[in-house]
Structure 1
Amino acid sequence: MKGHIRERSPGRWAVILDLRDPDTGKRRRKWHSFTGTKREAQKECARLITEMQGGDYVEPSKETLSLFVDRWLDHIRSQVSPRTHERYTELARKNVVPFLGSAVLTKLRPEQISAAYAKALVSGRRDGSGGLAPRTVHHMHRILRQALGQAVKWRILARNPADAVDPPKVERAKMRAFDAHETALLLAHFRPTRMFIPVVLGALCGLRRGEVTALRWRAVDCAAGQLAIVESTEQTTRGTRSKETKSGRARRVALPSFALEELRQHRLRQAEELLRIGVRLTDDAYVFAQADGSPVQPNSLTHEFTRILALSTALPRVRFHDLRHSHATQLLASGIHPKIAQERLGHSSVGITLDLYSHVLPGMQEDAAAKVDAALRAAIDKVAV
């Protein structure tokens, strides 16, 4: 295997590699452009020959990043959920491609990616009103890095240039959690509305909105006082679909007596409402449903929650998902073991629970220290006597 260099113009070189086609045995040439000194060009030639001999050589291609991203999006369609694929497509085509799409994939360099991130932060909005949020640029980086990682697996690239780029720092958004008093005000505010039961399930059981809209009466065991969370609902541009829970595992959630009583009364009201239109309530019916028993879309739940909450002058504006955070915070602040909270919330590991709610732990540590101190002092007093 041979190679040589040829000067095209001052400081610009052609690195020419001689190789043979493994199928036909015919001689072929591969040309690489290089900018630098003659000595540097010779080193680049030697490096490429070494890569070819070691089986790490990647042939140059003129495919742009934009074309490759389209191929990658088609490739991952069957590997992620429809909603996730929609999000990836949106980020790739609306944020990544406008800044880097015209770049030749095999010539993409870390400094180009870094410059694109900097430009996006300053003037990335499509309406020209300013830059993108650091979190959005961080998502851009995740998508680009994943796509280029696939290019490495497909041996289009020898290495992932995005690995050498640091995305902008994103400050974690502060969670707004209700205390017991605020939760009581929230329940009182929503009681006259159809959104009361979703609020009960979010604030007292920690259910996600997709789990609320997917919950059926067959999953409610009033005798045992438990919910079986076995599926969730996902809304895409093509419609609403059922899927497994976020962690991929089913879980059981014990119902507080308040929630259990409200669910029993809600079932009676729902059965009466459906009977008026000639429909019999069954265990396959949705717990939270339209007046005719049809399911509610997750986005509709969010919009209705926001609308009704805005009518209150005593409650802060929060997301429906913040009810789940409130439930988790109240659990941990009450001394419930994080492992129990993890199982109740449906996190895939206790590490996620501890990471999300670490702000609650300092108070728990002080309480634990006080209890250990009290127990030790009592033991010391007995020994002294």
Structure 2
Amino acid sequence: MAKANGRKKRDRGGIDVLPSGAVRVRVYAGIDPVSKRRHDLTQVIPAGPDAEKLAEEMRVRLLNQVYERRNPRTKATVNQLLDKYLSEADLEFNTLDVYKGYADKHIRPLLGGVKVGSLDAGIMDSLYAELRRCRDHCKNTKGQVDHRTTRKHECDARCRPHTCKPLAASTIRQIHFILYGALRRAVRWKWVTTNPIADAEPPAAPKGNPRPPTPEQAARIINEAFKDPDWGALIWLTMITGQRRGELCAIRWSHVDLDSGVLHLEKAIGQRSKKKWEKDTKAHQDRRITLDPETIELLREHKARARARAAALQLDLADDSFIFSLAPDGSTHLIPDSVTQRYGKLANRLGIKTTLHKLRHYSATELIAAGVDIRTVAGRLGHGGGGTTTLRAYTAWVSESDQRAAGSLASRMPIRPGAAPAPAITLTGLDPTSPYERIAVHLRTQIMEGILQPGLPIPPVKAIATEHGTSVSTAQRAVKLLDEWGLVEINSGRRTLVKYVALAASSTAARATNALNDQAQVSVGEERLLDLEVRQLGKPIAKFRANADPDSSKDLRQLLVGAIRRSGGDLADIGDYELAVSLAGSGDLRTTFVATR
């Protein structure tokens, strides 16, 4: 369109012919918010007969991007974006350190020089493919070596030929969300108009596959841990509450109300290398966990030991002191990595392949197996999302719980008209060898003989354990075995009830009676749960509970030596000490062990 003076309006943008014959298209797009300089959109059209026509079409296309505000506003690179994003992100220290590590190792080497405006889903898919190929981003060079250290060294057998290993899917997802979050900020900062990787597809989230210890393994872990009562209390509390290790280390006595039986979790101990600090819990939310009577009693005993240690050094145990501490006055917390390492050594001694975090899985799966609803389990574990995370992580256990729920409902339904009577329960081939099996046989016999009436509760687990001189976990396994036999009904938050069932009492009853008689005979060499009191020159100095053979001088000497060491005594004076031995909960002295020098 011509102006009044007859001159043509100047077209926006420019087209330049390069010495090679190629054509460069330039369109002004404003001021770069990063460099504060002029920002031009440029494209180069290869030389050819239609180069000028294609250049004009490109100029129009770039102009439309500018008019519609779809053009990138900056020439900033991914490196510049990451620098700004990570310096301003409001992230917890540990998370920020992990993000910086992933950025330095995986993002910057592959995408650092790429312009932010050039990123798209295709580039991201190529990035994911490279990460799945080799986590070290090797160049497929023959003779490449994976060195044992990045420092100057002489190679040995630990420096091996390079083998490509893919990066875990969960790590690739984290890298995707680091870039996604950074580019979302770039949109807010007006570096780009849209998030260029919104359509990229990261690897699917891995399915939850928790591997908690079995009930038998859990019992072995508890028995081994309680050789040191303080360590045993820590492991017990972890199993009961399902706390994270940082939360466990941060508990203070002011967080526990032993009268009402409530544990208040509000802090955690963070650790990254040698740096340690107190922080909020992972989900940044306080939570209150109700404790069972046995755990309350265990914490009372633990507090009494802590007070005794402090008093022996003329120190006071403050209300805000840490529950688990190596300091006599509880002024310092345990180090999370040290707790993990000690638990790993315990598991290795027992030959169990597990980790401390799997005790959290144990707590969750046991609650779900007991029929506790997902929202309650999520609340105890500190999961956000109203139970979504819990449901995703423990899908298999939820399915099993649903099957048990269906069976429980069916057992409460009235008899269907015309249906055949329920078959009698016959437990053939029963040969109890383990303590929990003998306890189950004893309780089954009481049910068969009418001592335990249908519809009424069986004795509490703690009472069963005390009666048979075993740990609570062994008694719990016995009750679960009764449930598998269909003799009892386990209800969450209520007493376990005897079911209305028909019992076949022929040869099974005889076998049960024989097994019960065998159970009553305590053979020499059998481990029992014992109450032990250490005395020095007749004065009690420590009490604890452990599994051992009460007739084995070797076992008793080992327990006495360990107790003397924990109390700070000298083994040269072992003759001044004695060990009073009683069956757990009986209160009757079985023997007093005195070691020779």
TM superposition score category, shorter chain reference = 0.7 to 0.9
User: For residues 312-336 of structure 1, what are the alpha-carbon distances to aligned partners after superposition, in whole Å with 9 as ceiling and x for unaligned?
Assistant: 13xx222211111111101111111
Picking from 287, 294, 297, the partner of 1:251 is 287
- TM-score normalised over the length of structure 1: 0.86
2:165 equivalent in structure 1: 131
Which of 358, 367, 370 matches 2:407?
A: 370
* CA distance in structure 1 between the partners assigned to 2:134 and 2:272 by the alignment: 29
1:81 Cα deviation (Å)? 0.8
**Correspondence for 1:340:** 376
Query: What is the total number of aligned residue pairs between the two structures?
Result: 370
Partner of 1:2: 12
Backbone CA RMSD of aligned residues: 2.8
Establish whether residue 165 from structure 1 lines up as the match of residue 200 from structure 2: yes
Question: Tell me, what secondary structure is at the counterpart of 1:243?
Answer: strand
Cα gap change, 1:40 to 1:229, in 2 (>3 Å): farther
Aligned counterpart for 2:179 among listed residues 119, 144, 148:
144
How many Å separate the matches in 2 of 1:223 and 1:20?
69
CA–CA distance in structure 2, aligned partners of residues 41 and 238 of structure 1: 59
Change (3 A) 1:60 1:82: closer
Q: Report if the CA contact (8 A) 2:28-2:41 is conserved.
A: no
Match of 1:52 in 2: 66
Q: Residue by residue, what CA displacement relative to the aligned partner does 1:315-365 show, whole Å, maximum 9, x if unpaired? A: x22221111111110111111122221222222222222222111122222
Shift of 1:6: 4.1
What is the percent sequence identity of the aligned residues? Answer: 24
Q: Is structure 2 residue 228 aligned with structure 1 residue 217? A: no
- Is the aligned partner of 1:350 residue 2:354? no
Q: Which residue of 1 aligns with 2:153?
A: none
* Equivalent in the alignment of 1:25: none
The verdict on how the C-alpha distance between 1:295 and 1:254 changes in structure 2, with shifts beyond 3 A counting, is same
How far has the Cα of 1:54 moved from its partner? 3.2
Structure 1 residue 19 displacement after superposition: 7.0
Using the TM superposition, give the Cα deviation of residue 31 of structure 1 relative to its aligned residue in structure 2, in angstroms: 4.1
Does structure 2 retain, via aligned residues, the 8 Å contact 1:273–1:291?
A: no
Q: Is the 8 A contact 2:210 2:361 kept in 1?
A: yes
Consecutive unaligned residues of structure 2, counting only runs of 5 or more, are 1-10, 32-37, 138-145, 147-161, 419-597
Comparing 106-115 and 252-261, the one that deviates more: 106-115
* 1:35 positional shift: 4.8
CA distance in 2, matches of 1:33, 1:338: 56
Alpha-carbon spacing, 1:347–1:191, altered in 2? closer, same or farther (3 Å): same
C-alpha separation in 2, matches of 1:209 and 1:110: 39
Matched, 1:84 2:95: yes
Structure-to-structure mapping, 1:187-198, within 5 angstroms = 187-193=222-228, 194-198=230-234
CA deviations over 1:37-77 (Å, ceiling 9, x no partner)? 7566544433332232234443341x33223211221111x
Q: Partner of 2:323: helix, strand, or coil?
A: coil
Q: Secondary structure at the residue paired with 1:83?
A: helix
- Per-residue CA shift, 1:141-195, capped at 9, x if unaligned? 2212222222222222233333333223453352111343322221101112343
Instruction: Indicate which of 101, 114, 118 corresponds to 1:103.
Output: 114
What's 2:84 paired with? 71
Larger deviation, residues 345-354 vs 89-98? 345-354
1:70 maps to a residue whose letter is: D
Indicate if the aligned counterparts of 1:32 and 1:60 stay in contact, CA closer than 8 A. no
Partner of 2:128: 117
Which SS does the other structure have where 2:73 is aligned?
Answer: coil
Distance in 1 (CA, whole Å) between partners of 2:21 and 2:250 is: 65
What do the CA deviations read for 1:187-231 (whole angstroms, capped 9, x no partner)?
A: 101112343222112111111111101100011111111111121
> Is 1:208 the equivalent of 2:244?
yes
Give the Cα separation in 1 of the matches to 2:184 and 2:343: 40
Name the residue aligned to 2:556.
none
Instruction: State the shift of 1:119 in Å.
Output: 2.4
296, 302, 305: which is aligned to 1:266?
302
Alpha-carbon separation, structure 2, partners of 1:129 and 1:295: 42
Contact in 1 for aligned 2:208/2:392 (Cα 8 Å):
no
> For the Cα contact (< 8 Å) 2:121–2:196, is it kept in 1?
yes
Please tell me whether the aligned partners of residues 117 and 192 of structure 2 are also in contact (alpha carbons under 8 angstroms).
yes
2:29–2:73 contact (8 Å) kept in structure 1? no
Could you tell which deviates more after superposition, 267-276 or 6-15? Answer: 6-15
| Counterpart code for 1:239 | K
Residue 273 of structure 1: how far off its partner (Å): 1.9
Name the SS of the counterpart of 1:147 in structure 2. Answer: helix
Aligned with 1:361 (options 380, 390, 398): 398
- Distance change >3 Å, CA 336–CA 116, structure 1 → 2: closer
Structure 1 CA distance for aligned equivalents of residues 30 and 382 of structure 2? 57
Matched-pair contact (CA < 8 Å) for 2:39–2:74: no
What secondary structure sits across from 1:350 in the alignment? helix
3-state DSSP class of the match of 1:98?
A: helix
Higher helix share: 1
Maintained 8 Å contact 2:225/2:231: yes
Letter of the 1:343 partner, please give it. G
Cα distance in 1 for partners of 2:235, 2:250 equals 15
> Distance in 2 between the 1:238 and 1:253 partners?
31
CA distance in 1, matches of 2:45, 2:406: 65
Label 1:7 to 1:47 Cα distance change in 2 as closer, same or farther (>3 A): same
User: 2:226, 2:168 → 1: CA distance?
Assistant: 39
Change (3 A) 1:272 1:44: farther
Specify every segment of 5 or more residues in structure 1 that has no aligned partner in the other structure, as ranges: 22-27
Contact 1:202 1:321 in 2 (8 A): no
> Paired residue for 2:572?
none
C-alpha separation in 2, matches of 1:110 and 1:12 = 29
User: What is the distance in 2 between the residues matched to 1:187 and 1:281?
Assistant: 27
Pick the aligned partner of 1:15 from 21, 25, 33. Answer: 25
Query: Which one has a bigger Cα radius of gyration?
Result: 2
1:180 correspondence with 2:215: yes
Kindly provide the amino acid, as one letter, of the partner of residue 280 in structure 2.
Answer: E
Aligned positions of 1:318-337 closer than 5 A = 318-337=354-373
CA–CA separation in structure 2 for the residues paired with 1:42 and 1:304:
71
- Structure 1's consecutive aligned runs of 4 or more residues displaced over 6 angstroms after TM superposition are none
Match of 1:93 in 2: 104
Query: 2:410 and 2:107 mapped to 1: Cα distance?
Result: 56
Contact 2:243 2:360 (8 Å CA) reproduced: yes
Residue 20 of structure 1, CA deviation: 7.9
Local SS of the residue matching 1:284: coil
User: Which deviates further from its counterpart, 195-204 or 365-374?
Assistant: 365-374
